[in-house]
Amino acid sequence: MPKEAEWDKRFNIGVDSIDKAHRKLFSIVHRLITLSKEESSGQWACAEGIKYFKNYAIQHFADEEAYMQSIGYSEYQIHKRLHDDMRFKTLPILEKDLTESGYSEKSIHHFLGICVGWLTTHIIIEDRAIAGLISNKWKTDHTGEEMKALENALSDTIREVFRLPTEIVSEHYSGENFGQSMIIRLTYLSIDHEEVQIFMALEENLVLRAVSSILNIPLNKMDQLVLSIGKELAIQITEQVAIRCDLALQYHLESSHFMTSEQFRHAFYAGAFDYSLLFNTGCGYFAFVVGL
């Protein structure tokens, strides 16, 4: 279950209208968390609460964008694209997952985990940048053909490895928690000795399903065997993506190791990334993050 959202002063950016909206969003999340714990609440109450959250968030995005324009904020376009990513991709896909699962506990936890994590990171990093309290996180806002090529390469590779369809949830994944995951950090060196960090977070259900299918043995525990196979799968997925994107000959793997969710969040918040994607396979989520 996602950790309950708490408001504290570090979320304040110093713009009263924006701070009030953020407090309201967290208040709605608190209510959704309470509803998700009450078996008697039922699907209708959760559905209404999620609809209210979505509508309020979309209105807040519009208000915040108007404020950014009024002060001539230099990073307006990338900030708006982050809102659009949440508005037009992440929220609709999460809603679809909720509806198709009949508002199952797992789908509600996915919704809450991603929304709480997204709000926290977006406020602390992106929104504080509006007030000049911190620099913008995204070094380059990759869009168009480059982004589409990477999305297609990842989708095709995951589909082949896991035999599952994939759906893009976010093109600007912000490190939010989407469930118990196997997290791997891969370090590559280019022929010019430039370092590239790649993080892959795969939900445990997805890893267990893949390894069970490969071994033709039902598995339900992330033991050393599953972790070892899962790690190699992550490496092979990354290298297949590099082949599809014509990058395979330019980089070689220098090191690979597992990370805890806390280590991942720390590295994510401290770094700046060129690509950060979140996918849903229907059997689990996975994130692919690249820092050049």
Confidence of residue 163 (pLDDT cuts 50, 70, 90): confident
Least confident piece of the model among 51-55, 75-79, 105-109: 105-109
E strand or H helix at 100 = helix 91-100
**Judging by DSSP bridges, how do beta strands 285-291 and 251-259 pair with one another?**
unpaired
Least confident piece of the model among 61-65, 131-135, 178-182: 131-135
Least confident piece of the model among 89-103, 186-200, 232-246, 277-291: 232-246
* Interatomic CA distance for residues 288 and 26, integer angstroms: 27
Least confident piece of the model among 111-115, 247-251, 264-268, 271-275: 247-251
Q: State the average pLDDT for the chain.
A: 86
Confidence at residue 136, expressed as pLDDT on a 0 to 100 scale: 64
DSSP state of 253: E
∠ CA 90-183-144, rounded to 5°: 40
Q: Which residues of 80-99 are buried (b: 16+ CB within 10 A; e: fewer)?
A: bebbebbbebbbebbbebbe
∠ CA 9-11-15, rounded to 5°: 95
* Interatomic CA distance for residues 165 and 218, integer angstroms: 21
* Interatomic CA distance for residues 220 and 209, integer angstroms: 9
For residue 53, the SS3 value is: helix
Which domains, from first to last, does the chain contain? 9-130 (1.20.120.50), 144-291 (3.40.1550.10)
Confidence at residue 42, expressed as pLDDT on a 0 to 100 scale: 64
Q: Which amino acid is at 38?
A: E
Does the pTM surpass 0.85? The reply is: no
* Interatomic CA distance for residues 102 and 276, integer angstroms: 29
Confidence at residue 5, expressed as pLDDT on a 0 to 100 scale: 45
pLDDT digits (tens, 9 = 90+) for 189-248: 988 888 889 999 999 999 999 899 888 888 999 999 899 999 999 998 888 888 877 776
